[in-house]
Amino acid sequence: MSEDAKPRASDEELVQRFRNSKNRPRSSQTLGFDLLAINQDEQWVEIAFTATDDMLNPTGRVQGGFLCAMLDEALSIAGQVASGMTHIMSTLEQKTSFLAAAKPGRLVARGRVTRLGRTVVFLEGEIRDSDGKVCATATATALPVEYKRNKPA
């Protein structure tokens, strides 16, 4: 979906664009969104989140839905970046597998593009705790929606 005519922003420029954004969505703020790395060639992004005490289930671990929310952000942004920053992802469905309990604190998610189609995008990723243990994996199907207000790099 990217137009080859205009020069592509570098990975680092895109990271800074996300980090310096003044319009960070409320959901991202709530989840402690912190974009760490982007690799446009390999179509992945890496984002840190912070699981707070407000997200804990009765066993003191992160309620799975909040891991879904973090993964949704990582997968969606992987698709947005892979589109050349011309489209946002409207998630149609997400399947999340809860491999291990996550303690509150810093969690790092990686989102990847499985297939970038014109009308449908397939995404996948996982989220790890500070020991590198995978707590949850996800796959998602999304609809790319043109982002009219996007400014070219």
Residue that is written with structure tokens 């810093």 in the block: 106
Nearer Cβ to its own copies (42/92): 92
* Least CB distance to its own copies at residue 37 (A): 21
Q: Give the Cα separation of 153 and 147 in Å (integer).
A: 14
For its own copies (CB under 8 A), the number of binding residues is 33
Q: Which of 22, 26, 148, 151 binds its own copies (CB under 8 A)?
A: 26
For the CB of residue 5, give the shortest distance to its own copies in the complex, in Å: 26
Per CB under 8 A, 33 contacts its own copies: no
57 counts as binding its own copies under rule CB under 8 A? yes
Stretch of 3-11, 49-57, 108-116, 123-131 lying at the interface with its own copies (CB under 8 A): 49-57
| Nearest distance, CB of residue 16 and its own copies, angstroms | 19
Closest-CA residue to 127 (of 81, 80, 62): 62
Contact between 22 and its own copies by CB under 8 A: the answer reads no
90-103 CB burial, b ≥16 within 10 A, e <16? eeeebebeeeeebb
Candidates 136, 60, 56; CA nearest to 98 is 136
Site membership for its own copies, residue 91 (CB under 8 A): yes
| Min dist. Cβ of residue 127 to its own copies (A) | 11
Q: How far is the CB of 47 from its own copies (least distance, A)?
A: 13
Between CA 98 and CA 3 the distance in angstroms is: 38
* CA dist., res. 18 & res. 25, Å (int): 11
Please tell me the distance from the alpha carbon of residue 45 to that of residue 42, in angstroms, as a whole number.
9
